[in-house]
Amino acid sequence: MSKDYTFNPGDFVVYPAHGIGRVTSIETTNVAGQDLDLIAVQLSKKDKGTLRIPSTKVGDTKLRQVSTPAIMESAVKVLQGKPKVRRILWAKRALEYNGKIASGCPIATAEVIRDLYKDPKAGAGTFSERQILEQAMERFSSEYAVVHKMDEPAACAKIDGILQARFASAK
């Protein structure tokens, strides 16, 4: 069996369906008489779980290394941009936003945050908008924190500052 994955114990990874995690081990298990290489990923404290992903299915799950600082910088530039809210039914937009978050791409997640983040003085938006925004912020800030070697609250504060600066410069 070829080992085409490039994950090592201790590496931070992104599992699009759950967010950030850390590879705890790469183990071989015998299942139905066959040896199976598994990558064990400990999810964030909030998700509190361990995934064991067969190495042959890594591509299917879209498990990936965390982004580079350059990619995160591109995502921050997206955050600083002007919101692009399409005038279609909310249900359709919500599906698009959830799809972008589920993709695990930090730039797509930044687009969701950019489009849903409201001026704190103008109100917070609808309940479903706030839920999607919160999920996007959680995923984005956790990866931002790992890439920039800071804790999550500091990453959230930094991202919030970037978003609020957008409204301060508009005045």
Domain ranges of the chain: 12-65, 69-170
At residue 47, the pLDDT reads 63
* Fold type of domain 12-65: Thrombin, subunit H (2.40.10)
- For residue 130, how far is the Cα from the chain centroid? 17
Q: Minimal CA–CA distance to 10: which of 22, 18, 19, 21? A: 22
Beta strand pairing status for 50-54 and 19-31? unpaired
Q: How many Cα atoms occupy the beta-carbon half-sphere of 67 within 13 Å? A: 24
Summarize the confidence of residues 44-65 as an average pLDDT.
Answer: 82
165 backbone dihedrals φ, ψ, rounded to 5°? -60, -30
The per-residue pLDDT for range 63-111, each reduced to its tens digit, is 899 999 999 999 999 999 998 878 899 999 999 999 999 999 999 999 9
Please give the Cα distance from 139 to 17 (Å, whole number): 10
How does the average pLDDT of the chain come out, rounded? 87
The per-residue pLDDT for range 31-49, each reduced to its tens digit, is 888 888 889 999 876 667 8
Helix H or strand E segment including 39: strand 34-43
The pTM of the full predicted model, rounded to 2 decimals, is 0.86
Domain 69-170 has CATH 2.120.10.30: no
Structure tokens at 84: 């692009």
